[in-house]
């Protein structure tokens, strides 16, 4: 399977009405081989930058992008046309270091964190021919500062708006990456996840999001929360694009022990289309569908598509051991204090915080800008979570329950290759005063996040024009297989996936008011 580069025309076709508002339109060719892309690479990159200016800086003002190159054409033209990505544009979540821009994690405390270095995953991206177009907004500190936060808000970038309904939330913490891809501001974006931070914004913004097995992608020079659970991953329009981007960014890193001796593929793209659903046994997590009938209806249509394509669906009734959540929380609090301190202490700049305690003090001193909408209760709790023996016991328990006793046990007990559930419900109205208001009964992402197993979300339809996704799970290191089953579902999906409106949400005409 040869990677192909969609022209800007194909990528932006969903938003052609915006041309009347002055938003740039791309070349007319529908598709071209990588080897034929040279004449259009610079123009396509410039059009993405113009689209950011028109939709993110102005117009609906999505606030998905914090910083970008307004004229990336020359850089795009200089990239080898035969490289894997061939100058495809990629936006990068602003907790991942790139040499061009500061890495802020959305916080004013790191506004001057200009390291001048690339995280290893970004170095891999560039070697593969990816063009780093800019940095995306995020839930500040990857949504680990306080449990009353509003996803998608940071002091640096403001509130990210969902392109499908700009008064609705974009979820987090990879909010800007999800919104940017949905809005067509780049070919793809990179997000990071500790627990749901790739998959939730992907689902709610109507795109593909893939959280790889922990260790597949380096975490060096990425603002940390948890070495147990953190990973970066692709956020794209299609599963094939996610596989292509994963192929570019994955790799061993001597500075990240989790990446060593990993059963990593050199290529997650070729062979993706050869997968057949015929006879594949898939476990359906019935209790994780949640309590919304409309989500269940969309999910049942997705299950019907899988079944019509030959998959054998096996119903599973399962309650997660709640001890997993309690122990995982202890792990996050302990690792946050320790690993954030290590990261901050390693930064080359001056006048930066060097410990989590110094970040807490910075926020108190700058409370008017940093803590107008919510506090820093989780930071303060992490600062007091210092019992290493308790942490080590909690980590052992959480990983065992999530992996061996949940995902591994279900796959074996029901003799299935994959598990599926809805990812999340539809987007909720953003409310800076009251914080997030989402339905926690929906989804099964936490075991994969805590155990470090792969999790793919693919758009499966919409509720009142608000996208919802379906999640696919597999065993650890079965990343390629999970991408395969997701791509196979994508190919047979019968639901229509809505395109962004860039307007406030309103009920359909004729619907109940």
Q: Given the DSSP bridges, would you call strands 231-236 and 188-193 parallel, antiparallel or unpaired?
A: antiparallel
**Per-residue DSSP letters for 363-419?**
HHHTHHHHSSS---HHHHHHHT---HHHHHHHHHHHHIIIIIIIIIHHHHHTT-SEE
Q: Which residues pair with 281 in a beta bridge?
A: 312
Q: Are 128 and 167 in contact (CB under 8 A)?
A: no
Burial zone of 63 (CB within 10 Å; 0-12 exposed, 13-18 middle, 19+ buried) = buried
| Helix (H), strand (E) counts: the chain | 16, 15
For 309-332, b where at least 16 C-beta lie within 10 A, e where not — what string?
bebebeebebebbeebeebbbbbb
Token pair for 310: 């030959």
Helical (H) or strand (E) element with 360: helix 356-365
Tell me, letter by letter, the H, E, C secondary structure of 225-271: CCCCCCEEEEEECCHHHHHHHHHHHCCCCCCCHHHCCCCCCCCCCCC
**Residues that are catalytic:** 93, 173, 197
């Amino acid at each position: 399977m040869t990677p192909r580069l969609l022209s800007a025309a194909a990528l932006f076709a969903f938003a052609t009405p915006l041309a009347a508002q002055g938003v740039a339109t791309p070349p007319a060719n529908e598709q071209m081989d990588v080897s034929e892309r040279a004449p259009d690479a610079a123009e396509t990159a410039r059009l993405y930058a113009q689209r950011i200016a028109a939709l993110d800086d102005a117009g609906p003002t999505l606030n998905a992008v914090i910083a970008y190159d307004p004229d990336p054409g020359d850089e795009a033209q200089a990239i080898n046309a035969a490289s894997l990505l061939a100058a495809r544009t990629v936006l990068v979540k602003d907790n991942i270091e790139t040499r061009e821009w500061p890495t802020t994690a959305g916080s004013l405390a790191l506004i001057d964190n200009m390291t001048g270095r690339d995280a290893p995953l970004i170095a891999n991206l560039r070697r593969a021919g990816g063009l780093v177009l800019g940095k995306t907004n995020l839930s500040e500190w990857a949504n680990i500062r306080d449990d009353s936060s509003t996803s998608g808000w940071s002091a640096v970038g403001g509130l990210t708006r969902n392109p499908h309904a700009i008064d609705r939330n974009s979820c987090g913490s990879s909010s800007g990456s999800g919104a940017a891809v949905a809005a067509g501001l780049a070919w793809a974006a990179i997000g990071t996840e500790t627990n749901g931070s790739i998959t939730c914004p992907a689902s709610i913004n109507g795109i593909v999001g893939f959280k790889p097995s922990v260790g597949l992608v380096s975490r060096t020079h990425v603002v940390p929360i948890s070495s147990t659970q953190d990973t970066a991953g692709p956020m794209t329009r299609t599963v094939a694009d996610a596989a292509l981007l994963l192929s570019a960014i994955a790799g061993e890193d001597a500075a990240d022990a989790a990446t060593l001796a990993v059963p990593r593929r050199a290529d997650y793209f070729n062979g993706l289309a050869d997968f057949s659903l015929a006879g594949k046994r898939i476990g359906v997590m019935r209790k994780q569908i949640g309590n919304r009938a409309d989500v269940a209806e969309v999910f049942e249509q997705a299950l019907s598509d899988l079944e019509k394509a030959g998959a054998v669906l096996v119903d599973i009734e399962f309650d997660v051991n709640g001890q997993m959540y309690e122990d995982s929380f202890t792990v996050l609090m302990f690792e946050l204090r320790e690993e954030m301190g290590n990261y901050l202490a390693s930064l080359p700049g001056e006048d930066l915080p060097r410990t989590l305690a110094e970040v807490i003090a910075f926020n108190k001193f700058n409370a008017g800008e940093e803590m107008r909408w919510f506090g820093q209760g989780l930071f303060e709790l992490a600062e007091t979570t210092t019992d290493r023996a308790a942490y080590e016991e909690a980590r052992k328990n959480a990983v065992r329950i999530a992996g061996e006793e949940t995902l591994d046990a279900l796959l074996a007990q029901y003799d299935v290759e994959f598990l599926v559930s809805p990812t999340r419900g539809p987007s909720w109205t953003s409310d800076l005063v009251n914080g997030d208001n989402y339905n926690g009964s929906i989804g099964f992402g936490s075991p994969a996040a805590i155990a470090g197993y792969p999790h793919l979300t693919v758009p499966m339809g919409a509720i009142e024009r608000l996208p919802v996704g379906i999640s696919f799970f597999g065993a650890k290191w079965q990343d390629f297989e999970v991408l395969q089953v997701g791509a196979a579902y994508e190919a047979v999906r019968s639901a229509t996936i809505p395109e962004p409106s860039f307007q406030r949400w309103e009920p359909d005409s004729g619907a109940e008011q």
